[in-house]
Chains A and B, each alone.
Chain A
Amino acid sequence: MTRYITRKVAEAIVTLLGLSLVVFSAVHLTGDPVRMLLPVRIDAPPEVYDQLKAELGLDRPFMIQYLNFMRNLLTKGDFGRSVRSQKEARHLLMERIPATIQLAAAGLFLSFVIGVPAGILSAVKRDSLADKIGKAVAIFGLAAPQFWVAIMAVILFGAYLQWLPVYGAGGFTNLILPASVLALGPLAAMMRLGRSSMLDILDSEFIKFARVKGLRESIVIWKHGARNAVIPLMTFAGLTLAALMNGSIVVEQVFAWPGLGRMMIEGVIQRDMPLVQATVLVSGFFYVTTALIVDIMYGFADPRIRDTN
């Protein structure tokens, strides 16, 4: 198990380093950052230009610049400055991260904690009314674009019914709509996968044997069935996470949620590259870390994984 975890952590670190390199080079390709810092005086004298360039360390070779950037990032948490606002990206990030984590955690909770058991129950009560409703929800959830569902939710619950707030972060009620919309797609996927996975498991010999042993049906289903049904779902956890992050960018936009996603879009549209770089790196970090946790949980859930190293 320790070896398994070590390997997964190492993989995560390599992925993050790779990401930072890709993003850093991407930012480099987008144009001259010095010119961007001198937006007003385009005809700035060459001395000023060169001085600024040297000040920013941009006259040095690419790899040195990258290593410098990484050193500042890792030792001081320094992401550089936003081109537009001239504020340190670090501070801008800190303002946004809590809201994003709040939203993503709620979405993750809803899609796994509700989606998976719902899929399992759907399989257990196959062809029942609940199963049919579940199927319809899954078909809709997989097809409807999130941004549209978000807008429809705003119209219906915010404007017409006026049940829930639809603008910005705040109390718990502010979270309900964005989190539900965010979770819809992943929830549908989890329900569908959970159902088919559980159906496979219910057909297996060890479930039959568990019944033969005289175990109560609830134990057969939850202890023997569900645990096995969840394992293949974990391989989809990465994709689900990706879907959640996609969704949170969109959902933050619609619900004016003050998170990283909106900052990222603002950055892209304003071509504020240091800011884009910072948000992408932080999102990537969250993504890789969560995926790592899921991987480790996977190892705990399935004894066979632990031994295959």
Chain B
Amino acid sequence: MNNDTLLEVRDLQTHFFTRTGVVKAVDGVSFDLNRGETLGIVGESGSGKSMTALSLMRLVPEPGGRTVGGSIMFDGEDLLLKGRDEMSDIRGRDICMILQDPMTSLNPVLSIGDQLIETFRPDGREAAKSLWDRGVELLRKVRIPAADIRMRAYPHQMSGGMRQRVVGAIAISRSPKLLIADEPTTSLDATIQLQYLRLLKDIQEQTGAAIIFITHDFGIVARMCDRVAVMYGGKIVEIADVSELFYNPKHPYTEALLGSVPDLEEDVDWLTSISGQPPQLDNMPPGCSFEPRCPYAFERCTEEYPREFTISDKHLASCWRLDDAGC
């Protein structure tokens, strides 16, 4: 791990233990992230992208869910070895996250100021006056007008866009080194979406945080990210720089998502949907999980999961077609 690397995830495995069997929500995910870099994670719902994020935060929903293997080296330390309180200290300070629905991320019965300031005092001790000023400062940073009045307001007294800004302010309040954003814009209309993305960019420039951006929207990836990982069936099937992935996708699933694949067999609108269902994660076929929906599938695909092929220095993909290509 060189000095630029902030996060090094290796073979991360998060499983859910249900009465019908084990669901491998995250099944051997590995990637690196540099300081200040923005990585997009793209996939359908159910691909394991949000669960990867929650695994990084060590907030996999219990009971039932558990990270059972792998390592998460963050700033040289393995987060999976941290105790409960140690992890609490890391959250908010070093890693923070903006959840899928920022509108409902604020507690309805606590004032904005309270929710902002308590982040500085995660052990619940009474906040000092200086913290109040820091809170006002933060609200200004995310361009909330009349910040000192807003500190006393409650979430229901604010507009949706304003609430999102507050959530943003809370997330960056302690200048985390890593910010995870889990589809923070899906519930927004287009203009507010743009504003919010710009805000996140601003935040990144000001704090130098690395960002993991979880989305299913390649438009956002193109706008926001340096690199992008495509997830399918709990695994990363392809990872590359954004332009490389856009112009030279190697995995058929990526092709399908980008809508660049020619229609081979049926008349399917690849731009909007991919035929077939996402895989049942508790009932995985032995071969490639994308095989049942893949237009190129051949015999080997049903037998064995493809290993990772290196296309170029920073471009990796898992597909047996690449074996013939001599990667």
- Chain A interface (Cβ within 8 Å of chain B)? 126-127, 204-206, 208-219, 223-224, 227-228, 231, 301-304, 307
Contact = CB atoms under 8 A, between A and B. Distances in A.
A213 B122 contact: yes
B84 interface: yes
Interface string B158-171: 00000000010011
Measured as residues with beta carbon below 8 angstroms from the partner, the interface class of chain B is 35 or more
A206 B104 contact: yes
Interface in B66-116: 84-85, 88-93, 96-97, 99-101, 104-111
A231 B91 CA distance: 29
Nearest to B94: A214
Contacts of A216: 85, 88, 122-124
A304 B124 contact: no
Interface string B29-40: 000000000000
**A-B interface, 3 closest residue pairs, ranked by CB to CB distance from nearest:** A214-B92, A214-B91, A209-B105
A122 B184 CA distance: 32
A219 B85 CA distance: 12
Given A211-B59, A213-B91, A206 B105 contact: yes
B84 A210 contact: no
B128 to A, nearest CB: 17
Given A210-B107, A217-B84, A217-B88, 4 more contacts: A205-B105, A214-B93, A303-B111, A303-B156
A223 B124 contact: yes
B109, B123, B124, B170 — most chain A CB neighbours (10 Å): B109
Contact of B109 (A209, A210, A231): A231
A61 B87 CA distance: 77
Contacts of B88: 214-217
B99 A214 contact: no
A209 B169 CA distance: 13
A209 B106 contact: yes
B242 interface: no
Contacts of B63: 126-127
Contacts, number: 94
B97 A214 contact: no
B99 A213 contact: no
A212 B97 contact: yes
Nearest to A224: B107
A219 B126 CA distance: 12
Given A224-B110, A301-B109, A303-B156, A214 B89 contact: yes
A212 B96 contact: yes
A215 B156 CA distance: 22
A219 B123 CA distance: 7
B67 to A, nearest CB: 15
B104 A204 contact: yes
B109 A213 contact: no
A54 B85 CA distance: 80
Contacts of A127: 63
B119 interface: yes
Given A215-B88, A215-B118, A205 B110 contact: no
B56 to A, nearest CB: 11
B173 to A, nearest CB: 8
Contacts of A303: 108-109, 111, 154, 156
A204 B108 CA distance: 11
A216 B91 CA distance: 10
A242 B226 CA distance: 63
B91 A307 contact: no
A213 B96 contact: yes
B57 interface: yes
A304 B154 contact: yes
B261 to A, nearest CB: 36
Nearest to A303: B154
B20 interface: no
22 contacts: A127-B63, A205-B105, A206-B105, A206-B106, A208-B59, A209-B170, A213-B91, A213-B118, A213-B119, A214-B90, A215-B118, A215-B124, A219-B118, A219-B123, A223-B110, A224-B107, A228-B107, A228-B108, A302-B108, A303-B108, A304-B108, A304-B154
Nearest to B85: A216
B157 interface: yes
Contacts of B89: 214
Interface string B114-144: 0000110011100000000000000000000
Given A216-B124, A217-B88, A304-B156, A206 B108 contact: yes
Nearest to A301: B109
A231 B110 CA distance: 13
A212 to B, nearest CB: 5
Given A217-B88, A303-B154, A209 B167 contact: yes
A259 B99 CA distance: 55
Contacts of A126: 63
B122 A211 contact: no
Interface hub of B107, B108, B111, B167 (most chain A Cβ within 10 A): B107
A113 B157 CA distance: 31
A57 B271 CA distance: 90
A209 B171 CA distance: 9
Interface string B192-219: 0000000000000000000000000000
